[in-house]
Amino acid sequence: MASVIWGLATSHVPPIGAAMDSGRTQDPYWKPLFDGYAPARKWMADHQPDVAVIVYNDHANFVGLDMVPAFAIGAADSYAVADEGRGRRPVPPVAGAPELSEHLIRELIDDGFDITTCSRLDVDHGLTVPLSVYCPEPGDAWPCAVVPLLVNVIQYPQPTAARCLALGKALGRAIRSYPRDTKVAVFGTGGMSHQLAGARAGLINTRFDRWFLDAIEHDPASLAALSREEYIAEAGTEGIELIMWLVMRGALSDDIVRVHETYHVPASNTAAGLALFEELGG
């Protein structure tokens, strides 16, 4: 049977990927961020999964605003890197795990979640930057296959935080019911606090971010109890991406240990966080 071996929560700020792609990780502006990643990267390199389920949002690079599913899962053999307007990132295409994808889609639908199936999907920075946080030098291929799980955090009404935590719990059950001996890591991406436009553009709420980093481990139910409006009020219009961390947390059991945490302000105009958890319950 498959097992969940670890969960990673990480920001997916596009300039993080750009800093890696252009060799600027040791520049004074970026060095503190990447120094913070180093212990997590070393640990993950020693605990490689067969498949990563990456929970992220498309930024209107493949999923247009004319049709926005609440939840979708990629079921393709591979995923091209999206051109977001300045050419594709110089990273490998993403190998899929279609048999696991199809299993998860079926199990989640049977568990009461209406999942959109994506037989073709180009993946943008929401997915490729977390992969680069995990593996900064992939060479010709990423070290694991990927199941993309998309969440609508762009267009109102977004799924509630409670629904995302419930999806994560169902996802964990679905992974563990997969009959093949497969080691799976689950990524929750996006956030932390930031707002890109409007009167509060540039908002960063360190107090809320620090509370969230503690609660994602010890009290995820308190995060699930927050409304959309509370997330936006505290973390900014784009800070609602944090609900995707709850999908990751739900897929883990209560028997976890925090391997590493880091928090940095700012990465571009965003508060960037990372939290890595080892699953002890399997």
Catalytic residues: 125, 194
- Burial of 136 from C-beta contacts in 10 A (0-12 / 13-18 / 19+): middle
What does the alpha-carbon distance between residue 35 and residue 82 come to, in Å, rounded to a whole number? 28
What does the alpha-carbon distance between residue 244 and residue 223 come to, in Å, rounded to a whole number? 11
**What one-character-per-residue DSSP string does 97-141 give?**
-HHHHHHHHHHHHHTT--PEEESS-EE-HHHHHHHHHH-S--TTS
- Burial of 157 from C-beta contacts in 10 A (0-12 / 13-18 / 19+): exposed
Q: Which residue has the tokens 């930024």?
A: 59
